[in-house]
A and B are shown apart, each in its own frame.
Chain A
Amino acid sequence: EADIYQTPRYLVIGTGKKITLECSQTMGHDKMYWYQQDPGMELHLIHYSYGVNSTEKGDLSSESTVSRIRTEHFPLTLESARPSHTSQYLCASSEGRRNTEAFFGQGTRLTVV
């Protein structure tokens, strides 16, 4: 069973609010990732981190930001939520080696009204 947790599972929030999606893992993985999943189910990498104090933009441009102050914690922040941010957000971690898989949290479904 994967030891990676996301909170909240569901969030409905008004336009303009600041939100933080939490992601924590207890596996000691250096590599962590945030994906945005659209209704067609395709995954888009929006942020990743190779370790503490390392953050990189992913393939899909996003207005969100991330931080990695501790190995186990990789929160995602939206300073001012908009309806276009409505989506499913998935956090993952891995050892980041060639033959190792990624472990996913259960996701946060965000709705901005």
Chain B
Amino acid sequence: GNSVTQMEGPVTLSEEAFLTINCTYTATGYPSLFWYVQYPGEGLQLLLKATKADDKGSNKGFEATYRKETTSFHLEKGSVQVSDSAVYFCALSDPGNGGFKTIFGAGTRLFVKA
């Protein structure tokens, strides 16, 4: 079945460092791909998404490009801030009987130090 694999955390960076969180997927067909973020004590919220190959999703300085040839959707940010400390989930839309549901990766915790 479809699945998502993302790099294990925690990832610890200093403020203004460059961030990459790797995500690869296995899917039949052409899923949409998503990154969600979970701040402490909160539910998940959508960070960005891409719906077809070569699409780039971006939001709040984060970017990810849908790479069909490498089945990847790596999350990047050029300069992280302390407020970016959170857990990041890569996800894809999985077709099923009755409609699509979301398949999540295991999550990567990011700590940003001042």
Contacts and interface: CB of A to CB of B under 8 A. Distances in A.
Nearest to B29: A98
A99 B51 contact: yes
Contacts, number: 75
B38 interface: yes
Interface centre among B36, B43, B101 (most CB of A within 10 A): B43
Main secondary structure of the interface of B (DSSP, over half): strand
A74 interface: no
Given A90-B43, A101-B34, A96 B100 contact: yes
Contacts of A98: 31-32, 51, 93, 95, 100
A98 B96 CA distance: 10
Interface in B31-51: 31-32, 34, 36, 38, 41-46, 49, 51
Interface residues of A, number: 29
Interface in B48-86: 49, 51
A100 B25 CA distance: 18
B101 A99 contact: no
Interface residues of B, number: 27
Contacts of A31: 99-101
Nearest to B1: A59
Interface string A87-102: 0001010101111111
Contacts of A105: 43
Interface of A: 2, 6, 30-31, 33, 40-43, 45, 48, 50-51, 54, 90, 92, 94, 96-107
Q: Which 7 A-B pairs have the closest CB atoms?
A: A96-B99, A104-B43, A50-B98, A41-B107, A99-B51, A101-B46, A104-B44
